[in-house]
Amino acid sequence: MNKSIHNSLRQWFAKHGRDDLPWRNTDDVYHVYLSEVMLQQTQVKRVCTEYYPKFLSHFPTLRDLAKSDLETIYSLWSGLGYYSRAANLHQTALITNGVLPRQEKELQKLPGIGRYTASAICCFGYNQAVPVVDTNIKRVIRRLYALNDPKEKEIWEYAKRLLDIQQPKQHNLALMDIGATLCLPKETKCEICPLQKWCKGRHDPFSFTTVKKQNSVFMELFYGIYEENGKIAFLKSEGPMYKGLLVLPTCDPIEEDLLGSFKHAYTKYRLKVNIYSLEELPKEQCIFLPYNEALHANISSLTKKALILWTKQHQAMQ
C-alpha cells in the first residue's frame, strides 16, 4: 500500500506543491533552519515576502549571525513577535560556530530546537530519510489512519512507517501541503485529495481531529510618549512580554492627555492600548531616539503602532 501512496503523493506534489517558497529551493541548511524558526506562530506569506529575505540580506550565513549583537537582530525581527526565537537563533549561531549538527539528537540540544525543527533541518536541509510531523502533517496522519486521540509518539511512529525513503523531502512536503490546502481543521476537500483512496477517516474526518480553543485574556495598557528636542523617550524592557526590546514608558491614564487608542493581539492576549502625551518623565534610564530611527530600532509591532498613532495626532495638531 505504501508504494501506491508514495506514487500518488509524488504525482500530486509535482503538480500542486508550493514550490514558490524560497526555503524549499535551497540546500543551505541555515536558510532551512531560519525559515522553520520564523514560521513558528507566523503566517507563511509574511515570512516569505518580508522577514525571511530581509533577515538573510543582513545575515546570509549563520556565522554572520553569530557576529551580530542582539539589538540588531531584534530590530530586524521587529513585528514577528516571540522574540525568544531570535535570541535562540543567535545563541545557536554562537554555540555551533555557524555549523549546524547533522544528527537530530544533537540538534535538539540547541536552544529552541525541538523534535519537529530538528527533523525538518535533517530532512529539508540534509535530505535525510526522517519523518517530519508539524501541525498539518499530524492532522493528515490522524485522519488517514483514523487515530482517535493518539499520543505524540504514536503519530511519529505512523509517520515513520509511511515515509518514502527514496524521496523523503518531497514526501514530507507533500503531506505538509495537503494539510495546509486540502485537509484543513474546519474544512476538507477529500474529493481532490491524493490520499482519499486510503484514508480511513474520510467519512468522518472531524472525529479524528480536535481544534483547541485558546481562551483569550483581555488587558488594557497605558503608555506615554515623551518628546524632547525632537527625540522620543524609551525604556529597555525587563518584562516577560518584550524582554530586551525598547518600549514606551507606562503612565497613569489622565483623560485630557489621551492621544488615542488601538487594539492589538499578542499570543493569547487581546489588548486595548491607550497612548498618552507626557509632559514630564524621569530621564535617568531613558534612551532617546528620533522618530524615524525609532521605527527601525528593536521595538515591537505594538510600539510601532503607538509611534504611528502619535505622529498622526502630532501632525494633525500642527
Per-residue pLDDT tens digits for 70-98: 889 988 988 887 888 999 999 999 999 99
Domain ranges of the chain: 2-208, 217-317
Report the pLDDT value the prediction gives residue 314, as an integer from 0 to 100. Answer: 66
Per-residue pLDDT tens digits for 172-226: 999 999 999 999 999 999 999 999 999 999 999 999 986 666 678 899 999 999 9
pTM of the model: 0.79
Residue 229 CB neighbour total at 10 angstroms: 6
106 is catalytic: no
Architecture of domain 2-208: Orthogonal Bundle (1.10)
Q: Which of 36, 71, 187, 238 is catalytic?
A: 36
The phi and psi torsions of 269 (rounded to 5 degrees) equal -90, 135
- C-alpha span between 146 and 141 (Å, rounded): 8
Lowest mean pLDDT among 39-43, 112-116, 214-218: 214-218
The CA R_g of the chain, rounded to the nearest whole Å, is 23
Output the CATH code of domain 217-317: 3.90.79.10
Nearest one of 143, 296, 130, 287 to 207, comparing CA atoms: 143
The phi and psi torsions of 234 (rounded to 5 degrees) equal -130, 160
